[in-house]
């Protein structure tokens, strides 16, 4: 009998186009094979002769990481079988077509993610084997697979939280929420490589590369590593934080339009941290990385967000008798807003019931296990006050639930509690609404309704866990339990008389109503109300006063009075911070008793608006005319104006144009052509910055049709 010729591999077709489409990775391109774990993908192997399953033996080998090991789960060997054997590496369902072998490969839903090398070893009978490289592939998390820990059983939500490559960040103030467009760009060609570069520069990898890679099957581990690597406090992370408002050595956090430019700069400079980021930049870049790796992720804003360093669940703020908010050396603060991420996953490391959305916060506020990272903390655990559960749940709980105690300071001593607010922190927790440009409040996911019996019960439960048994019966906790409302002889309110506009005088209205109290149940009272206005920094701290005013009022029992207040533009011109937020504080002193009352109003000032229009239908490869219009509504010129355009699938990288000076009251009109590269829903982001205003932002949703589509 003639000996059969040795089987030799002649060519391989990784079928990247088909596989990437079926694995929802075609947006990353089809030049490379990019697949998701827990799902079949297909190869065609061409040999020197027909494959004979009885005598030809093929072993597949898949390896990832620096020291692949079957023990660590970074190396898999598996044979050709007729039937797929379950949730393990396998090659099955093969068909023979002349000299070609069509085979289905399966990766388990708990496989390590990463760049893989795929090889086959061919042997005949007991003879020696020959190894052939088949190529490389990238393996990602699979939220479409019911076996994967990141499984999300809704195609609408998958499109939003994995496939959508643009979105919004919500900023400002809980009563004046502004939406900022952001280009996540997770499917831009090089972003997947940069994501793994981030993992490979982490301290865990540098310490023990083989062990770190072996843990990349665990989404909890991966997202903790990413949370630490987006900031640069411990490592060569992606972004350097800066809250000083001096950005002369880098880019202002306000001037970023998206994640792609940041990630590319970090990679191109060998892992040098990019200057500069603040919370919304950190969270948006983390959203890009996690969506790219296949983890459903969204960006969440918490308005009036506590940073409670000593974990006592109260933040103290101080005013003097002239209503000036005082800076403090304490590290505790109330951010005007703070932005973090939520990632969707099963928490096998926790008791049942805590799956779903988990908080991850890449902004460097506190260390966790020695590194500046935060989470994943189960949103359900936060709502129920289960602060003993991993990771960093007490810190996040305080961010949305701490109480605020406002003190009157005299001669450097805290003399009087002006207010104890149990519901002023953790307001309007917001994220982008699914399938819409609007924001959606998700506050009820984090806590029961403010003031409800459930909310106070959860607060006390969390307090006792966080404060410890030795402080569980303290007068402080009794104060928290009571809510601490004071008896006041009058009610004071500050209202805006008209919508505030940057560059215009601000008109306010003070309303005072005399009400009965235990000290003065009847009769008139005299009030001396001292006002102070200060620009607020992002961290909630104040700048020096920019306006002061005093009002004296005599008020009979049961009566109400109004007084107009005017804060001229000349007082705040050139004195606003990045936040464009002014706090007007008033302290009313009761002349008969010397007691004080506090009234506050935060005013958010928006920059001028720009408009973006497109003149015709957008089609891949065809010129698309874009019109950008900006009217300077301020009373001063905008100098050194520059425009930056960005948008995945519409612009390759960024387009930058110098626009010169825009005189007050004048309008700027710009026309330019874009050449879309990808079909489907896209978003164009436009930023115009000047010396006077760093961020005038706008966006346009554009649907791009495929080339030659009818």
Among 373-382, 482-491, 559-568, the range scoring the smallest mean pLDDT is 482-491
* Span 236-268, pLDDT tens digits: 899 999 999 999 999 999 999 999 999 999 999
Candidates 587, 616, 78, 22; CA nearest to 323 is 587
Among 98-107, 122-131, 257-266, 661-670, the range scoring the smallest mean pLDDT is 122-131
CATH 2.60.40.10 fits 490-604, yes or no: yes
- DSSP track, 280-304: HHHHHHHHHHHHHHT--EEEEEEEE
Question: What tokens does 547 get?
Answer: 């306006």
In angstroms, the CA 657 to CA 628 distance is: 12
Binding region for Ca(2+): 401, 403, 450, 455
CATH fold match for the domains 490-604 and 610-704? yes
Categorize the per-residue pLDDT at 1 as very low, low, confident or very high, splitting at 50, 70 and 90.
Answer: very low
* Span 189-205, pLDDT tens digits: 999 999 999 999 999 99
Candidates 603, 509, 633; CA nearest to 564 is 509
> How much is the pLDDT for 254?
95
Q: How far is CA 689 from CA 504, 675, 692, in A?
A: 20, 24, 8
pTM: 0.96
**What residue ranges do the domains of the chain occupy?**
9-140, 155-471, 490-604, 610-704
* Whether 279 is catalytic: yes
Within 10 Å of residue 468's Cβ, how many Cβ atoms? 10
DSSP state of 170: E
Exactly one of 148, 149, 235, 361 is catalytic; name it: 361
Q: Flag whether pLDDT at 49 surpasses 90.
A: yes
Categorize the per-residue pLDDT at 151 as very low, low, confident or very high, splitting at 50, 70 and 90.
Answer: very high
How many residues would you count in the chain? 710
| β 90-97/542-555 pair status | unpaired
> How much is the pLDDT for 471?
57
Candidates 132, 3, 127; CA nearest to 59 is 132
Categorize the per-residue pLDDT at 142 as very low, low, confident or very high, splitting at 50, 70 and 90.
Answer: very high
Among 297-306, 363-372, 670-679, the range scoring the smallest mean pLDDT is 363-372
DSSP state of 253: G
DSSP state of 255: G
> How much is the pLDDT for 469?
65
Instruction: Please give the backbone phi and psi of residue 678, each rounded to the nearest 5 degrees, phi first.
Output: -135, 140
Cβ atoms of 14 and 33 within 8 Å: the answer is yes
Q: Flag whether pLDDT at 477 surpasses 60.
A: no
CATH topology of domain 610-704: Immunoglobulin-like (2.60.40)
Q: What is the CATH number of domain 155-471?
A: 3.90.260.10
> How much is the pLDDT for 483?
47
* Span 330-378, pLDDT tens digits: 889 999 999 999 999 999 999 999 999 999 999 988 877 888 889 999 9
| Architecture in CATH of 9-140 | Sandwich (2.60)
Categorize the per-residue pLDDT at 476 as very low, low, confident or very high, splitting at 50, 70 and 90.
Answer: low
> How much is the pLDDT for 517?
74
Cβ atoms of 43 and 65 within 8 Å: the answer is no
Mean pLDDT, the chain, rounded, equals 93
Exposed / middle / buried, residue 482 (Cβ in 10 Å: 0-12, 13-18, 19+): exposed
> How much is the pLDDT for 473?
47
* Whether 148 is catalytic: no
Cβ atoms of 198 and 289 within 8 Å: the answer is yes
> How much is the pLDDT for 596?
94
Residue that has been written with the tokens 């190869």 in this structure: 43
> How much is the pLDDT for 470?
55
Exactly one of 279, 287, 373, 641 is catalytic; name it: 279
> How much is the pLDDT for 484?
47
Q: In what order do the strands lie in the sheet with 413-421?
A: 314-319, 403-410, 413-421
> How much is the pLDDT for 426?
98
Categorize the per-residue pLDDT at 479 as very low, low, confident or very high, splitting at 50, 70 and 90.
Answer: low
* Span 412-451, pLDDT tens digits: 888 899 999 999 999 999 999 999 999 999 999 999 999 8
Question: Residue-wise over 241-260: b if at least 16 C-beta within 10 A, else e?
Answer: bbbeeebeebbbbbbbbbbb
Within 10 Å of residue 225's Cβ, how many Cβ atoms? 21
Question: What tokens does 3 get?
Answer: 């000996």
> How much is the pLDDT for 520?
64
């Amino acid at each position: 009998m003639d000996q059969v010729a040795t089987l030799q591999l002649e060519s391989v077709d990784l079928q990247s186009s088909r596989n990437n489409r079926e694995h929802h990775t075609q947006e990353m391109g089809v030049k490379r094979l990019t697949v998701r774990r827990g799902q079949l993908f297909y190869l065609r192997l061409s040999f020197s002769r027909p494959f004979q399953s009885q005598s030809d033996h093929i072993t597949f080998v898949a390896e990832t990481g620096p020291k692949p090991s079957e023990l660590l789960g970074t190396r898999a060997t598996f044979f050709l079988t007729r039937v797929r054997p379950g949730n393990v590496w396998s090659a099955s369902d093969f068909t023979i077509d002349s000299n070609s072998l069509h085979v289905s490969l399966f990766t388990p839903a708990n496989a390590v993610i990463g760049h893989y090398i795929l090889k086959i070893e061919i042997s005949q009978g007991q003879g020696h084997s020959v190894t052939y490289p088949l190529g490389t592939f990238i393996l990602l998390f699979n939220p479409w697979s019911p076996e994967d820990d990141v499984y999300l059983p809704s195609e609408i939500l998958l499109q939003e939280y994995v496939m959508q490559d643009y979105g919004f960040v919500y900023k400002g103030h809980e009563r004046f929420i502004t939406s900022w467009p952001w280009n996540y760009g997770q499917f831009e060609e090089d972003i997947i490589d940069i994501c793994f570069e981030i993992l490979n520069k982490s301290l865990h990898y540098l310490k023990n590369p083989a062990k770190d890679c072996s843990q990349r099957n665990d989404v909890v581990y991966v997202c903790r590593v990413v949370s630490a690597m987006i900031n640069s406090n411990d490592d060569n992370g992606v972004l350097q934080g800066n809250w000083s408002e001096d950005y002369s050595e880098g880019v202002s956090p306000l001037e970023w339009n998206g994640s792609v430019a940041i990630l590319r700069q970090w990679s191109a400079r060998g892992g040098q941290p990019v200057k500069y980021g603040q919370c919304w930049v950190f969270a948006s870049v983390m959203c890009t990385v996690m969506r790219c790796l296949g983890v459903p992720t969204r960006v969440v804003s918490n308005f009036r967000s506590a940073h409670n360093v000593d974990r006592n669940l109260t933040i103290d703020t101080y005013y003097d008798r002239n209503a000036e908010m005082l800076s403090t050396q304490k590290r505790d603060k109330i951010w005007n807003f703070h932005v973090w991420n939520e990632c969707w996953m099963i928490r096998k490391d926790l008791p049942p019931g805590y799956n779903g959305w988990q908080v991850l916060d890449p902004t460097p506020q506190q260390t966790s296990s020695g590194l500046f990272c935060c989470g994943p903390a189960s949103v359900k655990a936060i709502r129920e006050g289960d602060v003993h559960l991993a990771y960093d749940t007490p810190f996040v709980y305080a961010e949305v639930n701490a109480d605020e105690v406002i003190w009157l300071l005299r001669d450097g001593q805290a003399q009087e509690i002006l207010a104890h607010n149990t519901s002023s922190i953790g307001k309007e927790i917001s994220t982008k609404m699914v399938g819409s440009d609007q924001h959606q409040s998700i506050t009820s996911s984090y806590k029961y309704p403010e003031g409800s019996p459930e909310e106070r019960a959860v607060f006390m439960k969390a307090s006792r866990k966080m404060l410890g048994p030795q402080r569980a019966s303290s007068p402080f906790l009794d104060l928290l339990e009571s809510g601490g409302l004071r008896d006041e002889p009058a009610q004071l309110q500050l209202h805006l008389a008209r919508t505030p506009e940057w560059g215009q005088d601000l008109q306010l209205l003070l309303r005072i109503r005399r009400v009965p109290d235990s000290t003065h149940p009847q009769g008139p009272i005299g009030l001396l109300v001292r006002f102070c206005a200060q620009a607020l920094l992002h961290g909630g701290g104040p700048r020096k006063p920019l306006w002061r005013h005093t009002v004296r009022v005599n008020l009979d029992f049961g009566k109400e009075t109004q007084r107009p207040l005017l804060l001229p533009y000349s007082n705040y011109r050139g004195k606003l911070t990045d936040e464009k937020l002014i706090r007007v504080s008033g302290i009313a002193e009761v002349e008969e008793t010397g007691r004080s009352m506090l009234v506050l109003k935060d005013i958010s000032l928006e920059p001028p608006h720009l408009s973006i229009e497109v003149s015709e239908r957008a089609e891949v490869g065809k010129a698309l005319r874009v019109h950008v219009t900006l009217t300077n509504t301020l009373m001063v010129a905008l100098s050194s104006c520059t425009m930056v355009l960005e948008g995945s699938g519409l612009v390759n990288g960024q387009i930058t144009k110098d626009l010169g000076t825009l005189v007050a009251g004048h309008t700027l009109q710009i026309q330019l052509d874009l050449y879309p590269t990808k079909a489907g829903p896209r978003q164009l982001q436009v930023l115009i910055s000047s010396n006077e205003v760093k961020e005038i932002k706008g966006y346009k949703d554009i649907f791009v049709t495929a080339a030659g589509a009818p």
